[in-house]
Amino acid sequence: MSVTDLEAKLGYRFQNPDLRRLALTHRSHSAQHNERLEFLGDSVLNLAVAGLLYRELSNFDEGDLSRVRSSLVRQQALHDIAQTLSLHQHLHLGEGELKSGGLRRPSILADALEALFGAIFLDGGFDAAAKVIDGLYSPILKQVDPRTLGKDAKTLLQEFLQAHGLPLPAYQVVATSGAAHNQMFEVECSLLKLNITVLGNGASRRAAEQAAATKAFDAAQQALSEAPKKRRRSRKSPEPAPQAKLVFAPAEKSDAGAPAAGKPVTEKP
């Protein structure tokens, strides 16, 4: 892919191509590299995303805005955007980094994207950089739920249970394995009211708890979504009460020998 294609995806054409090249040059390639531009781009990115969130999430308070911004500008989010831009095709890396898979390394791709933002800021000003950043992040913001973005699994599970009036989960380490410097933890998460017990594994107790919370959250959502269906199935329409039948008793002969009219008799079911 040519640099023209990259600029088309960014929605910005560099007036100074040297800035673009510098933004895509890793320190392993040359003494002239992108680290200073990365520093600049980090600040430009944070301000542009803050402005975007301020406009789009008018009902969010400062704490929630900070949480969402933190999630959107972290390395993984930048790496994902860099992949959509095929940024690895334009990086300039040293021989050692190329051999070790540097073109696909998340940290290198994320840093290069920030450096590009810094380069656009120097080349065209903040408005130009903010326009590029808005164009990359607006679709992402429409695809995620800002209310949960950036929250870990334990927090999401706790808020979900509280919203449904259920007790908080109980976590317990049930097993550890491996050497002291390389331990693995197994944690049990129990939701007693829902009869849910799951296990999670991780390299630390916290990581194992998060893994267990993720499974418990999924199970709890499924259990509560199925509960109304079960209640509806259990509600059977009452059978209609049997109705009494009106029959006539056989006619009896009168003293005169003529049959008397039959008398109605109620027959119970």
> Which of the following is catalytic: 38, 97, 111, 114?
114
Residue 190: both structure tokens together: 């129990």
Residue 215 CB contacts under 8 Å (≥ 6 apart), including other chains? 189, 198, 199, 200
Is residue 18 annotated as a catalytic residue, yes or no? no
Is residue 42 annotated as a catalytic residue, yes or no? yes
Residue 240 CA to residue 218 CA, distance in Å, equals 42
Neighbours of 217 (CB within 10 A): 24
Give residue for tokens 């542009």. Answer: 48
Contact 127, 112 (CB under 8 A): no
At 156, the amino acid letter reads: L
Q: Closest Cα to residue 120, out of 1, 6, 26, 30? A: 6
Pairing mode of beta strands 264-267, 245-248: antiparallel
> Which of the following is catalytic: 42, 64, 80, 159?
42
Catalytic annotation, residues: 42, 114
